Amino acid sequence: MSDQREPPWLTSLVAHEPKAPYMAPYMAYLLLLMLNDVFPTSLRWLAILLHIALASYVTWLFRHHLPPLGRPHWILAIVVGLIAAWGWVAGQHAVNGVVIAGHDLGGWLPFYPGSAKPYNPHVDYGDGAAFWVYVSAKITRACTIVPIVEEIFWRGFILRAFVNWDRFEKVPWGQFAWRAMIGSALISVIQHPANWIVSIGCWLLFNALFYWKKSLLCLMITHAVTNLALYIYVVRAGDWQFW
């Protein structure tokens, strides 16, 4: 469904490419990460807020082309979100230092470019107001736009694309398929190369919840709770490998 007030180019884009409403917000979010390199370190909080605003705007543009998001299932979403955050931390610590075939399971994703370098914001911002402004901005992003664009992309699109890439929109919301359940979890490691083992487990959990409740809104809340709990732990414990 389209809105007569929306730009004609957007209506035309969606008509020619039904994947756009699901992919564009996520792609815009990723591209706008470059704002971190444009602003000086002292203004990185401003880059994050601008990132939230622009990515939110792109998502809002496509709002009329998304199916109903479903019910929130608040209690279940909060419980599963907390379990996922606990599993992310406990799982990562469990595999750190475990070496199989010469690869540390807790290290950087094998064959992935780059390396894991935990960032401690105290180094750049000290312990005062500048630190808390930056941390608050990053947590806000992790609990707002991140769950929205990622759930639209991963649960709303990728799970169905594994079933039928060319006609994904014809796949019913939450239709179960093992190749989608496992395949999406495996490719999630590209997004989390420093925590790739626990990423697989988290995605399996999120996928299972979506297949059960068939509610994207529930998953957005779950994802937000997971990120909030995880970042609160990181700041309180100083365990910056998860930042």
| Per-residue pLDDT tens over the stretch 3-49 | 557 889 999 999 999 999 999 999 999 999 999 889 999 999 999 99
Is residue 111 very low, low, confident or very high in pLDDT (cuts 50, 70, 90)? confident
Percent of the chain whose pLDDT exceeds 90: 89
Identify the pLDDT of residue 112: 85
Q: Which contacts (CB < 8 Å, 24+ apart) does range 12-16 have?
A: 14/62, 14/65
Please state, rounded to an integer, the average pLDDT across all residues of the chain. Answer: 95
Task: Say how far apart CA 132 and CA 138 lie, in whole Å.
Answer: 10
Task: Supply the pTM of this predicted model.
Answer: 0.94
Alpha helical stretches, state H, 114-195: 122-125, 129-143, 145-153, 159-161, 178-187
Query: Can you tell me whether residue 98 is helix, strand or coil?
Result: coil
Side-chain-facing half-sphere of 34: CA atoms under 13 Å: 4
